[in-house]
Amino acid sequence: MWRRCFHLAWLTVALPGWALAAGCAPAPFAQAPLSPGTTTWTAFEHRGETRTFALHLPGVGPSGVGPTGVGPTKAGTAVPLVVVLHGAGSSGRGMESATGWSKVADREGFAVVYPDGLGGLLGLGRAWNHGDCCGYSTLFGIDDVAMVDALILTLSTRVEIDPRRRYLVGYSNGGTLAHGLASRSSDLFAAAAIYAASAPATGSLEAPVMVDAPPNPGLSVMLVMSEQDPRIPYYGSEGRIVSPSQRQLAQFYAGAAGCRRHPYVERVFDGAIDRRRFSGCDEGLDVEQLTLWGWDHTWPSRDAIRSCRAPGEQLYGFDAASEMWTFFSDKRR
């Protein structure tokens, strides 16, 4: 029988960003030293704001494969890129620690960038401006979609990134921004994976009208969420805006990808996850929706789950970053 855990997720994720904000300013990206197998905290200028981010480059294995220009590589080797967006009150470095994405990157050979949302003193109020949230970026009308677009271009000045293999990940408030990027910048990404987030809509919960337009060109999307999430209603909600249910969001992306309306449903991970897969999508596109049972809002990393579960209990062995990378790995723009 699984044990309910008490997660101080906002502490484990937010504090690294506060410490960085209180320390020395990061080096501009053009001068920052980059090395395979390491994470560098650096910055670039965008629309009058200094935007900080953590960049992890994959380690160089025995074959010598790594990011061109930053260490021993095969000539002309380009690496995939995963953009990972933190939740409200969090930071890029905290997101790296909480999710395990850099460990997957070293194992599979891709780069990961963890941008920081803007915040006030010591990073307080750090969040992304999209949907019905919050913080500094919303107060000052920051265009975070445009910032992520510019960040990708900035990275390509020093790291050889495969333009056909760029992927997007969002968590909570960062997932809401990922929905916006899927709408406005789908041409930049081959696929997106979103955990514990909804997207803004109008109308009613019975018939929501999405604020964000469908991805054009179409996009492969994986939605992941716990049915028992205490912060983002899995079945949707109505308030100042409408938050569609996870199944409504999946239908929205399936329709944009040309998939058949009714998905195939299977129960995996010994009954801990329901996987809904849509078939008949446009060539090269996939849409999936994963429902986690017996979890909460915390990012479901392998370490977080094993701190609460014993072998054989629900979700033991699941790792969201690894599952998302499996979804990404065969996708090309």
Q: Report the run of H or E that residue 327 belongs to, with start and end.
A: helix 320-328
* pTM over the 0.85 mark: yes
* Helix, strand or coil, per DSSP, at residue 107: helix
- CATH code 3.40.50.1820 for 9-328: yes
Burial pattern 263-284, b for ≥16 Cβ within 10 A else e, equals: beeeeebeebbbbbbbeebeee
Q: Which residue is associated with the tokens 């205490």?
A: 230
Give pLDDT tens digits for 248-301.
999 999 999 999 999 999 999 989 999 999 999 999 999 999 999 999 999 999
Cβ–Cβ under 8 Å, residues 185 and 148: yes
Burial pattern 192-222, b for ≥16 Cβ within 10 A else e, equals: bbbbbbbbbbeeebeebebbbeebeebbbbb
Give pLDDT tens digits for 70-112.
543 344 589 999 999 999 999 999 999 999 999 999 999 999 9
pLDDT at position 20, please?
41
Give pLDDT tens digits for 226-256.
999 999 999 999 988 999 999 999 999 999 9
* CA–CA gap between residue 229 and residue 283 (Å, rounded): 33
CA 208 remoteness from chain centre? 24
Q: Which of 7-16, 40-49, 87-96, 323-332 has the lowest mean pLDDT?
A: 7-16
